[in-house]
C-alpha cells in the first residue's frame, strides 16, 4: 500500500476545503514547495497535486506551482484539476508531472480519455474521481453532481482496462479522503 499525500492549490497556496465548498477555503501554508519538501524529508516519494482553481475554471491554472515543486524536489508528481484539453495535459507533463489524473472529463468525454491514454500510455494517465458516498459523483471542481452510478462507471472502465484507475473517497462530513486502487 502506498500512502500518497495531496496538496490542494488555490491562488498558488495550499488549502483545504470543507465538503468541497470553495467558500470554506482554509489556507494551511502559503508555500506549496515548502510543504512538498517537508513531505520529501519524511521519505515520501509520491505527491498528488490538485489545481482547484483549474478544476473550477475547467483549464489548468497553477502550472507554475507544479513547475516549482517539480524543479525543487525529486517527488513523483501526479497532477489533476482542470485538465480538459490535450493542451492542458501537455502543459501538465511539460511542467513536471509524471502522471496526471483525469476526473470529471472521464465521465463527460471518455473517448478523449482513451485518446490521451493511447497517446501517453496507461502508466501516465489515472482516471480518478472524488465520490460522494450516496452513489452520486461531484465532478467539475465539486460544483455539480452527475447522476451516474459510480459502481457502473468504474466497472465499465475496469472491464475495458483503460489505464490506471483510482477511487478517491472523500467523506463530505469528515473532510478526509481515502485513496485506494481498484486493481
pLDDT at residue 18 is higher than 70: yes
Can you give the pTM of this predicted structure?
0.76
Which whole number is the average pLDDT over 6-33?
A: 93
pLDDT for the residue numbered 26: 95
Helical (H) or strand (E) element with 170: strand 164-171
At 23, is the pLDDT very low, low, confident or very high (cuts 50, 70, 90)? very high
Q: How far is CA 131 from CA 37, 89, 105, in A?
A: 29, 23, 14
Lookup result for grid cell 513536471 = 96
CA distance 69 to 67: 6
Q: Whole-angstrom Cα distance, residue 6 to residue 17?
A: 13
Residue 7 has pLDDT above 90, yes or no: yes
Average pLDDT, the chain: 79
Q: Determine the pLDDT at residue 8.
A: 95
What average pLDDT does range 74-102 have in this prediction? Answer: 96
Rounded to an integer, the average pLDDT of 50-63 is 96
- Tens digit of pLDDT for each residue in 115-149? 998 899 888 998 876 554 444 445 544 444 444 44
Residue 84: band (very low, low, confident or very high) from pLDDT cuts 50, 70, 90: very high
Q: Which residue has the higher pLDDT, 178 or 36?
A: 36
Amino acid at each position: 500500500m502506498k500512502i500518497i499525500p495531496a496538496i490542494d492549490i488555490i491562488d498558488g497556496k495550499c488549502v483545504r476545503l470543507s465538503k468541497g465548498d470553495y467558500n470554506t477555503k482554509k489556507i494551511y501554508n502559503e508555500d506549496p514547495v515548502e510543504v512538498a519538501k517537508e513531505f520529501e524529508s519524511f521519505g515520501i516519494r509520491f505527491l498528488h497535486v490538485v489545481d482547484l482553481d483549474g478544476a473550477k475554471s475547467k483549464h489548468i491554472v497553477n502550472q507554475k506551482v507544479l513547475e516549482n515543486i517539480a524543479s525543487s524536489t525529486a517527488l513523483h508528481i501526479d497532477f489533476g484539476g482542470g485538465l480538459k484539453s490535450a493542451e492542458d495535459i501537455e502543459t501538465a507533463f511539460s511542467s513536471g508531472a509524471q502522471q496526471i489524473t483525469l476526473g470529471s472529463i472521464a465521465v463527460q468525454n471518455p473517448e478523449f480519455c482513451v485518446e490521451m491514454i493511447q497517446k501517453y500510455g496507461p502508466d501516465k494517465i489515472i482516471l480518478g474521481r472524488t465520490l460522494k458516498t450516496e452513489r452520486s459523483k461531484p465532478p467539475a471542481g465539486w460544483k455539480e453532481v452527475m447522476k451516474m452510478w459510480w459502481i457502473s462507471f468504474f466497472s465499465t472502465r475496469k472491464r475495458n482496462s483503460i489505464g490506471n484507475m483510482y477511487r478517491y473517497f472523500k467523506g463530505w462530513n469528515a473532510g478526509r479522503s481515502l485513496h485506494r486502487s481498484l486493481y
